Amino acid sequence: MKRLNQFLLILSMLFSLQVTASDLNDIAIFYRCYSQITQKFPDPQLSQIAAVKAGKDPITACLEIFDSASFANKTHTLKAANVNDDNAKAVLKTMHTLHFSWFAMQFYPEIASQYLTNVNNILDSSSPASFLTKSLFDNASPMSDIVSGTVSYRPIRVFENVPNAPYNGTAIADYIFTNVKFASVGNLLGFEILPVDDTLDYSFDENQNPPESIITGTLTYNKHFGGGLMGHQTYLIQNIKSNTFNPTPDGGVKTMRNWSRSVFNDLLCRALPAVRESDGASFVDLQSSITFRNSQSCVKCHTSMDQMAGVVRGAVYSAKVGKFFNPGHSAFIEERTPTQPSADIFPTAPDPAFRNRPPEGRLYYRTHNGTLVDQAVSNLQDLGTKIAAQDDMYNCMAKRYYQFFTGIDGDIGDIADPHHGTLSSEELVVRGIILNLGQQLKTHQNSRVLIETILRRPEYKKSNFNVGGF
Amino acid sequence: MKSIIFNHYSLTKAIWLLILLCFISCVGGTKSELVIENRSPSSNSSTLYQQHCMSCHGEIENSEKIGRTFTQIKGAIHSGAIAAMNGASLLALTDQELQEVADALDRPFPPGPPQTLQFKQILGGREYLISKFKMIFMTDGMSSSEETTIKNLIDDFLTKPGYLGGKCEHLAFCSNLFGITQQEDASALVHPIPSVPRRGVLTKACQEILSLDTAVTNALTFASLTSSSTANETNIEKLFTVMNPSIIINSTVSSGLINLHTEAKTIHALSDIEAWQMVIYALCVSPTFELL
């Protein structure tokens, strides 16, 4: 019993080590940083450890390892990691996995009871996160690129431990696509650019048993709607989440609001409502047949979601292809050409022609400092430009990197909203730090610089990241 | 070596308790000292609200309809658009009464409760833990049968699919088309959420691995110690630092570990290596071991 007490006593002491504040020495800071960016326990033989012992600045030493994953000076511009450089690969994987974890949707959805499992084999489900990873490791790529342009990235992976590599560029037996380069599986090496508007050929026998006629055809699997990651095929398929293969948005009852809700979450770190109670007032229409329009409390979420969703109104699924069982179905997102003139983007009655009108929408939300953003946008690319012109996307990225490196989750919402909870004095300090980092990021547009700034902050050198001491 | 310490039922239970306590208290923060004053609505109008509105829209203090004007309320009742509000009792309310309800609702939104700083310990993911267990408890290039057992134990507990994730690297989803059926929990790689199953797996891994002499000697060698090294402050610090390189030990922990070693030997007559086994086990099962 005596021994038991001693044992428990020591365990409780160990626990207390992590919550009390003390200053870390340089070696400990290096170990902390190295483990965070590689997700590996460092080998004591690592040359940087000797260098830090000899007086090198620990953050500089850690950033050396971080920068080994940089795209600079690589023969293939988009390839980060040398296959033989374990640290570089680990850094790339850690940061990409981190970026991927920021997305609300990470799977291909089920549509009309059909799982789009087959899409996975062509479009890596983490493709939208590639924009963030690319921007981080390519110094020439400004942060605003993540919401701009029609480039379509896809991870390049290499098989190390996983059996049955599919990634050899050719179709395998029983596979329905005959001319497609599969998404690779394995450790991340970098990114490739998939040709936009690329097509693939398919050939399958829907029911297999008894054999019926073989269905063949060609379809476009990689349309891009503009606006960087928001218009990437993967992002559209994952987030539009229509419950039918033939969505007919009417701007009222039916609209692509899952997608815009994800944009608020993924790029602005905002849950809805992103406006104040009073901002919904002018949209309340008690006569409307659309029930959420009758109530201010409902409308205040819909004003942000539905107005933004207008920019993807033209999205429509390609022909659904695939066998009933393995390898599952596929459907990709194509774009309707507008045939009708512009009209109210937030109609109070369902508009049957809504889906055939130009992809116009509105960016409508309250910023971190309470300003109401209310801007018309003419398409997805324009939405990206307008998001990138505000502070909130940068604050959001600063908040997330800061949280990754310190564990501290700051509040960057509209705290002046009477509905918003009151922040403690310590939370206000942390908010100030993050908003400042966000402001800097907006200016320099470089997430690698942002990370260095975070690592060099005083709280990073504290055993408990200064929690309780701000 | 007998796994004496590991079979102690109440010990295991007590460790669990401590671990759980830690995960509650370690998510630390400070409470705001701001006191928020609430303007309370006048009594007559709030009675009207209670009688006619509360059942659907909640208590007046936190009513969904705070800030609604007379016109909005009258509109909601009389427009016919909201079927639920067409009841006789609401339609019977006079303009005067509706104005009073509106007055009661005319006040700032109640502020939410003061927040606390959200903070989560940064723990290593699966890959980190695998590399850490291997670095500390295995020797490179040695191929004794105990070394192989240690490797297999690490594989069984940490590498194979389970609570800490599996091998598949097709982030978030692995199609079974290509014979890959294991799914990896993407969040297990980065910033894992401390969870009871995760603690269970790690505690069990520490137990099984440390019941092998080789694992204990490997850890000691990694810290440039041997089983006959004395458990003094210098040696304890060496061991602690190689096992937790980003955490600074303090004198309380150091003397606690020394006492643990001493009592194991003096009171319980354990051998040198068994006494160190106790110390290393304590370090291994502590959540500190998972911290980055």
Give the confidence band of B24 by pLDDT, cuts at 50, 70, 90. very low
**Mean pLDDT over residues B268-284, rounded?**
91
Domain assignment of residue B38, yes or no: no
Which of residues 200 through 259 in chain B touch A, CB cutoff 8 A?
Answer: 242, 245-250, 252-253, 256-257, 259
**Structural domain of residue B270, as residue ranges?**
2-29+121-290
pLDDT of residue A323: 67
Q: How many helices (H) and strands (E) does chain B have?
A: 13, 1
| B35 in A contact zone (CB under 8 Å) | no
Partner residue opposite B30 with nearest CB, options A294, A424, A465 = A424
pTM of the predicted structure, to 2 decimals: 0.84
Tell me the pLDDT band of A422, cut-offs 50, 70 and 90.
confident
| Contact (Cβ atoms closer than 8 angstroms) between residue B113 and residue A427 | no
- Exposed, middle or buried, A262 (CB in 10 Å: 0-12/13-18/19+)? buried
Say if A432 is an interface residue toward chain B (CB within 8 Å).
Answer: no
Q: What is the pLDDT of residues A197-216, one digit of tens each?
A: 888 888 877 665 666 677 88
The rounded Cα A113 to chain-centroid distance in angstroms is 26
CB contact under 8 A, B287 and A27: no
* pLDDT tens per residue, range A266-314: 999 999 999 998 888 888 888 888 888 888 878 888 999 999 999 999 9
Cβ–Cβ below 8 Å for B186 and A97: yes
Same structural domain for residues B155 and B13?
yes
Contact: A124, B170; criterion CB under 8 Å: yes
Task: Give A416's contacts in chain B (Cβ within 8 Å).
Answer: none
Is A442's pLDDT higher than 60? yes
A14, A237, A278, best to mutate vs chain B, most B CBs in 10 Å = A14
Give a yes or no: residue B115 inside a domain: no
- Which one-letter DSSP state was computed for residue B161? S
Chain A, window 311-370: residues with a beta carbon less than 8 angstroms from a chain B beta carbon: 326-328
Residues of A whose CB is below 8 A from B75 = 286
Residue B188 domain flag: yes
Mean pLDDT of chain A: 87
pLDDT at residue A101, rounded to an integer: 86
Work out whether the CA dihedral A143, A147, A151, A157 comes out positive or negative: positive
* B255 inside domain: yes
What distance in Å separates the CA atoms of residue A95 and residue A404, rounded to the nearest whole number?
10
Whether residue A327 and residue B175 make contact (CB cut-off 8 A), yes or no, is yes
Kindly state whether A161 is in contact with chain B, defined as any CB-CB distance less than 8 angstroms: yes
Nearest-CB residue to A161 (from B31, B131, B167): B167
A18 near B CB under 8 A:
yes
- Is residue B49 assigned to a domain? yes
Closest CA to A38 of B233, B153, B292, B55: B292
pLDDT band at B123 (very low <50, low <70, confident <90, very high): confident
pLDDT in tens, B60-99: 877 878 878 888 888 888 877 677 777 778 888 999 999 8
In A84-123, the residues whose Cβ lies within 8 Å of chain B are 90, 93-94, 97-98, 100-101, 106-108, 117-118, 120-121
The answer to whether the Cα torsion of B19, B22, B27, B31 is positive or negative is: positive
Q: Does B68 touch chain A (CB under 8 A)?
A: yes
Chain B residues close to A41, C-beta within 8 Å: 124, 128, 131-132, 135-136
Q: Does B141 touch chain A (CB under 8 A)?
A: no
pLDDT tens figures, A333-352 = 999 999 999 999 999 999 99
Does A7 lie at the interface with B, CB-CB under 8 angstroms? Answer: yes
Looking at the structure, do residues B53 and B13 belong to the same domain, yes or no? no
Sequential DSSP letters for A318-343 = ---EE-SSTT-EE--EEEPPP-S---
Alpha helices in B138-232 (DSSP H): 145-154, 196-210, 213-222
Quick one: B262 and B154 in the same domain?
Answer: yes
Does A24 contact B246 at a Cβ distance shorter than 8 Å?
A: yes
Find chain B residues with C-beta within 8 A of A464's C-beta. 28
Please check whether residues B77 and B195 belong to one and the same domain.
no
Quick one: pLDDT at residue A95?
94
Q: Is residue B145 part of a domain?
A: yes
Q: Do A464 and B28 touch (CB under 8 A)?
A: yes
| Interchain pair A107, B260: CB under 8 A | no
Q: What is the pLDDT of residue A167?
A: 43
Q: What is the 3-state secondary structure (H, E, C) of A151-209?
A: CCEEEEEECCCCCCCCCCCCCCCCCCECCCCCCCCCEEEEEEECCCCCEEEEEECCCCC
pLDDT tens across A4-48, in order?
566 777 777 776 776 677 889 999 999 999 999 999 999 999 999
Are the beta carbons of A41 and B81 separated by less than 8 Å? no
* pLDDT score, position A326: 55
| Candidates A15, A126, A284, partner chain B, best to mutate (most B CBs within 10 A) | A15
Within this chain, do residues B7 and B137 fall inside the same structural domain, yes or no?
yes
Q: How many angstroms separate the CA of residue A166 from the nearest CA in chain B?
A: 6
Interface check A162 vs B, CB under 8 A: yes
Q: Could you tell me if A285 and A221 are in contact, meaning their C-beta atoms sit under 8 angstroms apart?
A: no
Cross-chain Cβ contact A468/B30 below 8 Å: yes
- List, as one string, the DSSP characters of B73-90: HHHHHHSS--GGGG-HHH
A247-261, A323-337, B170-184: lowest mean pLDDT where? B170-184
Q: Is the pLDDT of residue B16 over 60?
A: no
Same domain, B85 and B138: no
Q: Do B25 and B167 share a domain, yes or no?
A: yes
| Chain A interface includes B112 (CB < 8 A) | yes
Q: Give the tokens for residue A76.
A: 């293939």
B13 touches chain A (CB under 8 A): no
Asked if residue B4 has pLDDT above 50, the reply is no
CB pair distance less than 8 Å for A35 and B246:
yes
Separation in Å, CA of B89 to nearest CA in chain A: 20
CA distance B239 to A327: 52
Q: Does A255 touch chain B (CB under 8 A)?
A: no
Q: What is the ipTM of this complex?
A: 0.85
Q: Are residues B17 and B159 in the same domain?
A: yes
Sign of CA dihedral B184, B185, B189, B194: negative
Q: Which residue of B has its CA nearest to A466?
A: B29
Are B69 and B47 members of one domain?
Answer: yes
Residues of chain B positioned with their CB less than 8 A from the CB of A427: 32, 115-117
Q: Return mean pLDDT, chain B.
A: 75
Residue A8 with chain B: CB contacts under 8 Å? 11, 14-15, 18
pLDDT at B43 over 50: yes
Q: Which of A24, A40, A463 is facing B128, going by the closest CB pair? A: A40
Nearest CA in chain B to A25: B248
Count of A-B CB contacts under 8 Å: 285
CB contact under 8 A, A28 and B245: yes
3-state secondary structure of A366: strand
Helix axes A425-444, A392-406, angle to 10 degrees: 120
- Looking at the structure, tell me whether residues B260 and B210 fall in a common domain: yes
Give the number of domains in chain B. Answer: 2
Chain B residue with Cα closest to A12? B18
Alpha-carbon torsion A298, A299, A305, A311, what sign? Answer: positive
CB–CB of B259 and A39 under 8 A? no
pLDDT at A53 over 90: yes
Instruction: Give dist(CA B254, CA B51) in Å, integer.
Output: 66
Partner residue opposite A107 with nearest CB, options B82, B114, B172: B172
